[in-house]
Chains A and B, each alone.
Chain A
């Protein structure tokens, strides 16, 4: 499989506190990769570094063979990386339709945008029922579907998901896990998934990196990590 994203020896800090102390990882074409780890381990910092929202201190980020660290966030979107931010961040006073249209902001082809909207509405039928409703008035689960759909509207090659299960009803977490698998399979989008719900993350992904205080502690095949004693102890403890 071809390499899509390469994150190489990246160091990053906020206010003199290191968030990433030299992290290397990669995402291959067509893969779903999970990043697991406790709060503050640096998972979200990796996504923020990829999207250009946070400048890195040292190291390099490559996407499709091109170096992208230092590139502005809006340019990164145009290159084919789309992010679903933590806490969903719908545009609360816009309708579902306008939120999806914003997702297609970098595109100009009206007819194809309409096709993409149809694709999103087929995938998430709940959004069809709420099409003209203000996004801020929807439930957390519906908003999560909306922001995933919105991120797909730019037709990304790589989809970054930051804590999609956070604050979502348990039944809907299953739905969202299933749609992540389906999107990866049907749309040809590679996925980099950040999750505190490690069990869910390991089930939907093929490979995973476990982070601990700003560096990669473990990595490998997700199915094997699910049964790994160390992973069980450190990341899956308690939740069954």
Chain B
């Protein structure tokens, strides 16, 4: 049991970081970023290249993953979403754009990195063993790093000036403009930050599970699951959703093992029931 919880927490911390990026972009721009999983995969491949292929230290690779994705995210916002939002009033336009970016990135990743599953050397060897749990040290490290980053993100949003500006923008776009917030600049910062979080998780998880060019879509779906569980556009909801999904996956993989690969079938069924009772998720607010 303790083992299941430990696995759930480790996984949940990664998931929460992914969900935070997605929910930030949604809250700021009202954009459903279907390409979020592809950003994660890209982050994984950057760390794979720098740490796995070039042999540079892991922290360098992780920072590169974050920076690369921040730049990619900023460019996607500035040249694609901003253009579409300016010209179209229909929400479907940004959804289609997001889907198109997802397909585009899938193809680019496939061209650049191939279709093979890629892994990297362990970042630290050894396994922590106690009576209750057995956890490899690298998982512990990756879990702790993810928790630290969640904390840093929350503190940044809560107490820094740009963080406050982004919250203001999410809560009332017009009022934020009247305070002197440049909507374009902060939408770009928000998108870059969201993409950066996805890239960092990609860089962290490539050390445990590896990465391949096909997992972007499934990761996006998981990210949307978490955001729906917790409530769209809410920081606390994304964190809660991440840990809940991580825990459910961990429990499911243990309890339902003998029935085959049905964990996500059960999770989806549960989600349908849950959303019919609480359509806004745990902490979500009705929009519009």
Contact = CB atoms under 8 A, between A and B. Distances in A.
Interface in A143-158: 150-151, 154
Contacts, number: 63
B175 interface: yes
Nearest to B185: A74
A85 B174 contact: yes
A82 interface: yes
A102 B165 contact: yes
A74 B182 CA distance: 6
Interface string B161-203: 1001101100110111111111100000000000000000000
Contacts of B172: 89-92
A18 interface: no
A53 B165 contact: no
Contacts of A77: 178-180
B178 A101 contact: no
Interface residues of A, number: 25
Contacts of A78: 180
Nearest to A151: B178
B174 A105 contact: no
A106 interface: yes
Contacts of B161: 105
A73 B165 contact: no
Given A89-B172, A105-B161, A51 B167 contact: no
B180 A91 contact: no
Contacts of A58: none
A173 to B, nearest CB: 22
A101 B177 CA distance: 14
Nearest to B167: A94
B186 to A, nearest CB: 10
Contacts of A92: 171-172
Interface string A77-107: 1100011010001111110001001110110
Contacts of A83: 178
A72 interface: yes
A77 B183 CA distance: 13
Nearest to B172: A89
Contacts of A101: 164
A89 B165 contact: no
A82 B177 CA distance: 11
Contacts of A93: 167, 171
A92 B178 CA distance: 16
A85 B179 CA distance: 11
Given A98-B164, A105-B161, A51 B171 contact: no
14 contacts: A72-B182, A73-B178, A74-B177, A77-B179, A89-B175, A91-B168, A91-B176, A93-B171, A98-B164, A101-B164, A102-B176, A105-B165, A105-B168, A105-B180
Interface of B: 161, 164-165, 167-168, 171-172, 174-183
Given A78-B180, A94-B164, 17 more contacts: A53-B177, A77-B179, A77-B180, A85-B178, A89-B178, A91-B167, A91-B168, A92-B172, A94-B168, A94-B171, A102-B168, A102-B176, A102-B179, A103-B179, A105-B180, A105-B181, A150-B179
Interface of A: 51, 53, 72-74, 77-78, 82-83, 85, 89-94, 98, 101-103, 105-106, 150-151, 154
